Structure 1
Amino acid sequence: MAAVVLAAALAAGCAGPGGRPDGGPVPTASPAATPAGGSPLAVKIDNVPAARPQTGLDAADVVYVEQVEGGLSRLMAVYASRLPEVVGPVRSARESDLELLRQFDRPYLAFSGAQRALLPLIDRAPVRPEPPDRASGAYYRDSARSAPHDLCLRPARLLRSAPGQGALTTGFRYGPAPSGGTPVASRTVRYPAARFTFTWSAPRHGWLITTDGTPTVTTDGPRPAPPTVVVQYVGIHDSPYHDVLGNPTPFTETVGSGRAEVLRDGRSYAATWSRPAADGGTAFTGPDGEPLDFAAGQVWVVFARAR
């Protein structure tokens, strides 16, 4: 099968979702029918400064934040309730993604490529890999951006329709705010070379995001303000893989249990997370052992190194 997908492998540029900047037609992929079980779409999204602002981020049901090489961050956005017209910029997959995505029913995985040694693992994983070399008509290059931060996806060319919330087999529970908690105006999570600050906005009833000191915005919608933010403390260790500069690729352990912090309604709640098996979702409980409900709407999960 085709190996690593490189930035130069596709024709450059796209003035917008309607077609190529030269006016030529964009080939279309045949969208797969949404299976009865409900397979969501997971998209690996770039998050370095040159990739911002992103497109389609506010439409995701869940956004996972993970550490990658050099202490930088990358996002995994999961779409089930609705599909935005465009998502991007799309970047490469990591080994951690395969464990994270096993909780879903064979999710579609949109990514720009992967290290050659990782490609066989992706093919064997219970996901539906959809890189550009398999679904070229679903991707285009944004001429306003520079490579490799210019690859964008049209989700409707992979799925005929959104599978619905039933495809979100995350294990999350939603409901009224629990009692207790501590009032908090903002919370900052730091990686070695990235940081995120979540600031409570009562008018938006959500947490406004600042990335590396800059407000997180999108090109096509309102500024993301997830009603629930989870800081999930996990094991992070070096994997067998490296980037082109020789930096080891971190592996984020999302199976197991540990400490967490849940932010909702302007308050912080101490929690414990538990995911006994990779094919199941993650449960969050409060200090009393009772399930801790999230607020309805988008959820951001930030994987932070356990202390």
Structure 2
Amino acid sequence: MRVRALVLAMVLGVLVAGCGGSGGDGGGGQSDGGETGGAKAASPFTGEDVAAGPVLAVKVDNAPQARPQVGLGDADIVYAEQVEAGLSRFLAVFSGTLPDEVGPVRSARQSDLELLRQFGTPALAYSGVQSALQPELDDARLIQLTPGMAPEAYERHDDRDAPHNLFGKPKELLAAAPDASDAADIGFRFGDAPASGGADTTEEKVSFPAAEFGFSWSAQDKHWKVSLDGDNTDLAPATVVVQHVTISQSEFHDSSGAFTPFTQTTGEGAATVLRDGKKYEGRWSRPDADSGTTFTTPDGEPLRFATGQVWVVLAEA
């Protein structure tokens, strides 16, 4: 009897073990190439095995006086957006690794509100907005974190001139936003590159009317080295996405009369994905503001990203 009981227990153990793991995709950001492992799930933003936490988005300056920026290298995703006079700013999204500081922090724009809807209810750190736009932020599904709302989470650096000297402290920022959504599927997929369709590429440039982004592939480091307006930086994403979007004039303008462009991130269009020293042409799709953004090959298959930080340059179609 004891032998029969022992054999039965062993059989049951094997059956339970065989049923314990699902082989399916299982949701957003999963690595199709077997890159997940251990007790931590793959981040839906980077595909890395990290404990993804609540989502913090920070509006970061990209004027020459703002460089070098602080904390951008620890962001999961960096969006490059066009602002007034053809200049650019970043929207940096954090959920896994939090730097001690990030910035310089600058003001939000109308385009940020649509872009951030796919992140649930994220926290947004920004320096302020013009009064005409404030009602839209108040109605948006996000947690506002300005210096006036979370003064303990910001500080100004004496070695830089205002307004390029405001820096946020991510841990303190998230402490002031306990209801911020955790990182979840926004449509990104990670894993092996497409078997065909990629062109060898070591250099790529993307231009706004008054800004330029350069990406140089480093075979040694397996990352893209970033230059801003021709100046080299220490920034090194694993994947760069050039998402071709509609950019139009919004109703808002700055004190000089320059109108703010509105970058539409819903709909569909062409996309270029840089990974592993190759360039892949594809498509992006986001049916509505509550949906994530998917990237596919011309054949409609998922256009998977390399594991690591993702840059998305929102370039005019």
Alpha-carbon separation, structure 2, partners of 1:93 and 1:207: 27
* 2:296 alignment partner AA: T
Q: Which amino acid aligns with 2:188?
A: F
Letter in 2 for 1:299: V
Where does the alignment leave 5 or more consecutive residues of structure 1 unmatched?
1-36, 217-222
Separation in structure 2 between the aligned mates of residue 164 and residue 104 of structure 1, nearest angstrom? 10
What's the counterpart of residue 201 of structure 2? 184
Secondary structure, counterpart of 2:174 in structure 1? coil
Q: Is the 8 A contact 2:121 2:180 kept in 1?
A: no
Q: For the Cα contact (< 8 Å) 1:109–1:127, is it kept in 2?
A: yes
| Residue matched to 1:278 | 289
Quick one: which amino acid aligns to residue 59 of structure 1?
Answer: D
3-state SS, counterpart of residue 226 of structure 2: strand
Change (3 A) 1:165 1:99: closer
Residue 238 in structure 1 maps to residue 249 in structure 2? yes
- Matched residue, 1:197: 214
Question: In 2, Cα distance between the equivalents of 1:76 and 1:232?
Answer: 15
Question: In the alignment, is the contact (CA less than 8 A) between 1:42 and 1:107 conserved in 2?
Answer: yes
Shift, 1:169, TM fit: 3.1
Partner of 2:191: 175
Do the aligned partners of residues 114 and 258 (structure 1) sit closer, same or farther apart at CA in structure 2, a change above 3 Å counting? same
1:228-284, CA deviations, whole angstroms, 9 ceiling, x for partnerless residues?
000000000000000111100000000000000000000000010000010111000
Q: How many correspondences in the alignment?
A: 264
* CA displacement 1:159-196 (0-9 Å, x = unmatched): 24999996043210001111120001110000110101
One-letter amino acid of the structure 2 residue matched with residue 208 of structure 1: K
Unaligned runs of 5+ in 2: 1-51
- From 272, 281, 292, the counterpart of 1:261: 272
Task: Verify the 8 A CA contact 1:38 1:167 in the aligned structure 2.
Answer: yes
State the structure with more CA Rg.
2
- Which is worse superposed, 144-153 or 157-166? 157-166
Amino acid at match of 1:61: D
1:172-225 Cα distance to aligned partner (Å, 9 max, x none): 000111112000111000011010110001111111001101012xxxxxx221
TM superposition shift of 1:287: 1.1
What residue number does 1:209 align with? 226
TM-score (norm 1): 0.83
- Confirm whether residue 86 of structure 1 aligns to residue 101 of structure 2: yes
The answer for the alignment partner of 1:304 in structure 2 is: 315
Paired with 2:301 and 2:182, the residues of 1 have a C-alpha distance of: 23
Q: Tell me: CA distance 1:115–1:79, structure 2 relative to 1, closer, same or farther (3 Å).
A: same
Question: What percent identity do the matched residue pairs reach?
Answer: 55
Residue type at the aligned position of 2:145: E
Q: CA deviation at 1:227?
A: 0.8
Match of 1:74 in 2: 89
**CA distance in 1: counterparts of 2:179 and 2:74, whole angstroms:** 14
SS at match of 1:159: helix
Q: Which residue of 1 aligns with 2:72?
A: 57
Cα distance in structure 2, aligned partners of 1:258 and 1:303: 11
Report which of the two has the higher share of helix.
2
If the length of structure 2 is used for normalisation, what is the TM-score? 0.81
- Contact 1:236/1:305 (CA < 8 Å) preserved in 2? yes
3-state SS of the aligned residue for 1:292? Answer: coil
Moved over 2 A (4+): 160-166
Return the alpha-carbon distance in structure 1 between the equivalents of residues 178 and 66 of structure 2.
25
Measured in 2, the distance between the counterparts of 1:96 and 1:104 equals 14
Aligned to 2:5: none
The one-letter code matched in structure 2 to 1:245 is: S
Name the stretch that deviates more: 149-158 or 93-102. 149-158
- The question of whether the paired residues in 2 share the 8 Å contact of 1:39 and 1:106 is answered with no
CA distance in 2, matches of 1:47, 1:105: 26
State the alpha-carbon separation in 1 of the partners of residues 200 and 227 from structure 2: 19
**1:153 alignment counterpart:** 168
Return the offset for 1:69: 0.2
Cα 1:299–1:115 change in 2 (3 A) is same
The Cα of 1:158 is off from its aligned counterpart by: 2.0
Q: Deviations over 1:32-64 (max 9, x none)?
A: xxxxx9640000000010000000000000000
In 2: Cα distance, 1:119 partner to 1:214 partner: 34
1:250 aligns to what SS in structure 2? strand
